[in-house]
Structure 1
Amino acid sequence: MQRVKKILLWVLVAFAAYAIFTSPAQAAEIVKTSGSILGDGVKNLGHFFDALLGR
């Protein structure tokens, strides 16, 4: 199972490198959007716990 994980990780890294080299602008936009989504998720978790604690 460990070997499969290692192979899948290398395939993912190779695909990311290919995507960056073939279309850097689009890859940057994907990273930017992903960061925005993660930031919104963290902010919403904060709102959830504030509401849960009655603040």
Structure 2
Amino acid sequence: MGPKVKKIILIVVLAFFVYAVFTSPDKAAGIVTNIWGILVDGFDAILRFFNALLNR
């Protein structure tokens, strides 16, 4: 993809995010919280995997 296409996609995603926050801030906060939880759980799983691998 060209740089112009990436820029347009980024603008559309940001515009949707701003729209979602202004129309329903509670749902937007819930989505961010869920995404953060998924990232933290994934990072924790990776750390546990490497700990188990190194402690064999």
Please, what TM-score do these two structures have when normalized by structure 2? 0.93
| 4+ residue runs over 3 A deviation | none
Rounded Cα–Cα distance in structure 2 between residues aligned with 1:7 and 1:48: 39
Please, what TM-score do these two structures have when normalized by structure 1? 0.94
Equivalences, count: 55
Query: In the alignment, residue 35 of structure 1 is paired with which amino acid?
Result: W
Q: Deviations over 1:19-53 (max 9, x none)?
A: 00000000000001111110001100000101111
Structural RMSD (CA): 0.9
Rounded Cα–Cα distance in structure 2 between residues aligned with 1:48 and 1:10: 37
Match of 1:38?
A: 39
Rounded Cα–Cα distance in structure 2 between residues aligned with 1:8 and 1:34: 21
Structure 2: unaligned runs, 5 residues or longer? none
Alignment of 1:1-55 (within 5 A): 1-54=2-55
